Structure 1
């Protein structure tokens, strides 16, 4: 799957689809009006952008929509971009930045050790 870069507004559409599964554009508009305060035209505009990017599939009849990329894939892409842009592609520098100066509990240290062992 090619990378799909999502703006915050597009991410709101995706969150609805990831939580609710397949939805009609009308259902999306109603949900986003309640949760974000968007008008129907705003939702439809952002939804069209998601379709154009290949993140959402539009199906007829009824302008039904479903996510074509998973939350996990989007998170992986965004994390990879963060590491590349801010840490020179070095994941260990990201981890060092996240942990810098923090006191970890014994449980947290143990979980990190297990993660590292699984990656080896």
Structure 2
């Protein structure tokens, strides 16, 4: 299974791309220098790493996402539930709700999601 975990700086970098995409690699270098204090080489190293992991692409000097922020979050969630709860969403919800009581609104939203899956 591919891993969709990012370190803190990788996540900040990914957020910059998602917020700016599509963005030229030159503009991304300037953005990272301003926002993260990175040098050009650091930006390109990080970009190469995240492109190799299938999150972004750099074609013709234009950087764009291969996964939306939402798709990435969904894959992170799936991976966490798979590794921590052996893929059992009910076990995850049971563990989650023992520490945090779900509001009526949250319960209703979960019910709507489940009903939508029955389709």
Normalised by the shorter chain, which TM-score bucket? 0.7 to 0.9
Structure 2 gap segments, 5+ residues each: none
What do the CA deviations read for 1:35-67 (whole angstroms, capped 9, x no partner)? 33323221111011122333322222xx22111
Local SS of the residue matching 1:58: strand
Kindly tell me: are residues 97 and 77 of structure 1, through their superposed partners in 2, closer, same or farther at Cα, counting changes over 3 Å?
Answer: same
* 8 Å contact kept, 1:10–1:49: no
Structure 1 position 29, deviation (Å) = 2.3
What do the CA deviations read for 1:68-113 (whole angstroms, capped 9, x no partner)? 2222222222111101111111111111122114333322222222
Whether 2:72 is the aligned partner of 1:74: answer yes
Local SS of the residue matching 2:4: coil
Kindly tell me: are residues 40 and 6 of structure 1, through their superposed partners in 2, closer, same or farther at Cα, counting changes over 3 Å?
Answer: farther
Local SS of the residue matching 2:63: strand
Aligned residues: 117
Segments of 4+ in structure 1 off by > 6 A? none
* 8 Å contact kept, 2:57–2:65: yes
**What corresponds to 2:37 in structure 1?**
37
5 Å matches for 1:1-120?
A: 3=2, 5-8=4-7, 9-60=9-60, 63-120=61-118
Normalising by the residue count of structure 1, what TM-score does the alignment of the two structures yield? 0.78
* 8 Å contact kept, 2:50–2:56: yes
Normalising by the residue count of structure 2, what TM-score does the alignment of the two structures yield? 0.79
